Chains A and B, each alone.
Chain A
Amino acid sequence: MSTGTERQAALRQEVAAAQDSGHSAGSTTAAGGLGAAAQDAGTQDAGGSGGGSTEAGSTAVPLRPKANLKLRFNRDRSLVFMALPAVILLAIFAYLPMLGNVVAFQDYSPYVGIPASPWVGTDNFARVLADPDFWLAVKNTLVITAFQLVFFFPIPIALAMLLNSLVNPRLRAAIQAVVYLPHFFSWVLVVSVFQQIFGGAGLLNQSLRANGWQAVDIMTNPDTFLFLLTSQAVWKDAGWGIIVFLAALSAIDPAQYEAAAVDGANRWKRMWHVTLPGLRSVIVLLLILRLGDSLTVGFEQMILQRDAVGAEASEVLDTFVYYTGVQNGDWSYAAAAGLIKGLVSLALILTANKVAHIFGESGVYSK
């Protein structure tokens, strides 16, 4: 999920808006939705550092906590049982694998299993950190993240502002429906579509040849792979990315525009002094969340195109782990690399959330 964080914020937003429409329970607006996102991030931090965490707005009957534990259990046991299947699934498929990371400290062999495999301490980590291939993967990952930050990130903002300037709501809804669509296509499908249009036998080359020009090969050229990756990501997810910005735009009070217009601000000045400040907190929040997610870039996208462009250009951390581990059978080595990635990502995400929380609060509440 290369745009996971954006999706996350976007969806929180939708739910906030949906609640709004469904129940008119309160004025849950874009700011509210993002505030909730920031609040969640903050809550998560508290949990990570073992802090006490009581949710605001608790509606349950207050009981003396310890003495009435049994009473509370009896009252809420259906609720607990309802949550249980999900907890069991997570325990098996999310928490058990965390323990499985011990193979990173072993010389693991599938034939003898984890209990019988010899322990080697941190040898695997030393090997990983001395491996030029690992550092190539790190380099590629960071380059791709940086490139997409510059050439992907601003597009949804611009598109949202453009859409927001349309007066006709039906036209706007129709365009939204079209641009959201590719988000729901699989990466296999997206890469296949690109192959059909830009590939060696694709539409582009077909028309180039028909007009007597030289065919160009975009899909297999490692030098232009960065552009290819980014344009695929833009095609698939830039449209979906506008959803959160549209919500933020709709939360800007039209009276501000009106006041600015009365004061003589033209269209561009209103955009600069009203629209962009209104989007600032959202932009900062998404930017920071994306930075926290820097080590994760289009895994499926890479796997699908690695054969075409070669490992030199397409090896990222996730594919490095997959190919050394599952394909070459160097389980412990790959697990060590994966663990390094997981821990660094965790640190980045927690830091980013902390920062997002600070920025989010100052951006959303204390204007």
Chain B
Amino acid sequence: MSTLTRKAPASAGAARPPRQPRTKPERPIWDEEPGAAAKAGKIVVLAVVVLAVLGPLYTIVLTSISAQATITQAGGLVLVPGEISFAAYQQILSGGVVTRAVLVSVGVTATGTALSMVVSILCAYGLSRPGSFAHTPILFTLLITMFFSAGIIPAYLLVSGLGLINTYWALILPSCISVFNIIILRGFFMGIDRGILDSARIDGASEWRTLTQIVLPMSKAVTAVIALFYGVGYWNAFFNAILYINDSSMNPLQVVLRSYVLQGVSVPGQVDVGTGAAAGPALQMAVIVLAMIPILIVYPFVQKHFTKGVMIGAVKG
């Protein structure tokens, strides 16, 4: 086993300036250095995977900010940056269907996420003390809905019976609670040290105060992750709108995206190919980019929270 007698890996990275020697990754001493072919294979596979995710996003974003001449020259999607123009965004965001749809989506997402978070946090905290009054029946009331859903038809009949068709509430209330998210929050709250909660109670804090001043500040990471899940759910919701909204002026962005990109409806402004007008592909891409921007903005901040747990687990080994 030559691997066991291999020198400590400090020499492996000697070519590089040793800026932070402490954080430099180390291969365990028993692990043999992979062969050149294996290394190359790994790099190729991972590069393909990363490219498969980022490549399409790159060309879509680039096309959306390309000038008409560049798009015509490329024959459609742009791979090599040419002349940059934000005409497409100016055009779709200066009033009209897309602007409206963005406002609808932002409004529904903000209201819905806030409502969902309040209801879910309260419920999760209320259920975080096994043995409390009616704890088990309430928990089962929640859990049963994860295993049997009534189906589309009764759901539609209910929403129309409540008179919510063609209201924004139809996009919020039916999907307001995810039992699954509540269970995650509850699991986290249950893991909080009892001693802290007990000392708060001894100091005279009510349950509300314990929740808002002690539990929530301790749960920022999990709350952020759950808020991301709810927010993404509302932002991405498409079928609810198809089902419950008939008034096209109330359509959220996902429905508009579908009609422009998948159903071939032309984006307003696309027909008048004036000198200042943006090209058709650029307009379509701009709508696609609008639909992903909020996710791209929020994701990096929250993503580290759900990776962190896994990574710490990995370090602990």
Binding site for B on A (CB under 8 A): 8, 11-23, 25, 28-30, 36, 40, 43-44, 47-48, 53-55, 57-60, 62, 69, 72-73, 75-87, 89-101, 103, 110, 114, 159, 162-163, 165-170, 172-173, 175-182, 184-189, 191-193, 195-197, 201-203, 206, 209-210, 235, 239, 243, 246-247, 249-251, 253-254, 257-258, 261-262, 264, 266-267, 299-300, 303-304, 307-308, 318, 321-322, 325-326, 331, 334-335, 338-339, 341-342, 345-346, 349-350
Q: Is the CB of A177 within 8 A of B292?
A: no
Q: Is B36 positioned at the interface, with any CB of A under 8 Å from its CB?
A: no
Question: If the complex has contacts A19-B187, A103-B157, A168-B25, are A55 and B310 also in contact, measured as CB distance less than 8 A?
Answer: no
Q: Is the CB of B218 within 8 A of A101?
A: no
Interface centre among A29, A193, A307 (most CB of B within 10 A): A193
- B contact residues around A15 at 8 Å (CB): 184, 187-188, 222, 309
Interface centre among B138, B145, B147, B305 (most CB of A within 10 A): B147
B contact face: mostly helix, strand, loop, or mixed: helix
- How many angstroms from the CA of A82 to the CA of B215 in the assembled complex? 14
Question: If the complex has contacts A44-B143, A179-B53, A261-B3, are A101 and B77 also in contact, measured as CB distance less than 8 A?
Answer: no
Interface size on B, residues (CB 8 A): 129
Among B26, B28, B134, B208, which residue has its beta carbon within 8 angstroms of that of A258?
B28
Q: Is the CB of A192 within 8 A of B288?
A: yes
Q: Is the CB of A159 within 8 A of B148?
A: no
Q: Is B150 positioned at the interface, with any CB of A under 8 Å from its CB?
A: yes
Q: Measured between C-beta atoms, what is the minimum distance from A31 to chain B in Å? A: 11
Question: If the complex has contacts A90-B177, A101-B154, A162-B46, are A257 and B30 also in contact, measured as CB distance less than 8 A?
Answer: yes
Q: Is B27 positioned at the interface, with any CB of A under 8 Å from its CB?
A: yes
Question: If the complex has contacts A44-B143, A193-B56, A254-B317, are A97 and B126 also in contact, measured as CB distance less than 8 A?
Answer: no
Proximity bits, B234-255, A CB within 8 Å = 1, else 0: 0111110011000000000011
Interface centre among A76, A87, A114, A189 (most CB of B within 10 A): A189
Binding site for A on B (CB under 8 A): 1, 3-4, 25-28, 30-32, 34, 38, 42, 45-46, 49-50, 52-54, 56-57, 59-60, 74-77, 79, 118-120, 122-123, 125-127, 129-136, 138, 140-158, 160, 162, 173-174, 176-177, 179-180, 182-184, 187-188, 191-194, 206-208, 211, 218, 221-222, 225, 228, 232, 235-239, 242-243, 254-255, 257-258, 261-263, 284-285, 288, 291-292, 295, 299-300, 303-317
Q: Is the CB of A83 within 8 A of B153?
A: no
- A contact residues around B236 at 8 Å (CB): 184-189
- A contact residues around B132 at 8 Å (CB): 60, 72, 75-76, 79-80
The 10 A-B residue pairs whose C-beta atoms are closest, nearest first, are A100-B154, A17-B309, A60-B131, A186-B236, A338-B151, A97-B150, A82-B126, A83-B126, A86-B123, A97-B154
Q: Is the CB of A75 within 8 A of B150?
A: no
- How many angstroms from the CA of A80 to the CA of B125 in the assembled complex? 10
- A contact residues around B180 at 8 Å (CB): 8, 11
Question: If the complex has contacts A93-B176, A159-B49, A206-B77, are A253 and B239 also in contact, measured as CB distance less than 8 A?
Answer: no
Q: Measured between C-beta atoms, what is the minimum distance from B195 to chain A in Å? A: 11
- How many angstroms from the CA of A124 to the CA of B188 in the assembled complex? 46
A266 to chain B: closest residue by CB:
B32
Among B50, B130, B143, B300, which residue has its beta carbon within 8 angstroms of that of A175?
B50
- A contact residues around B3 at 8 Å (CB): 261
Q: Is the CB of A341 within 8 A of B136?
A: no
Q: Is the CB of B123 within 8 A of A85?
A: yes
Q: Is the CB of A79 within 8 A of B306?
A: no
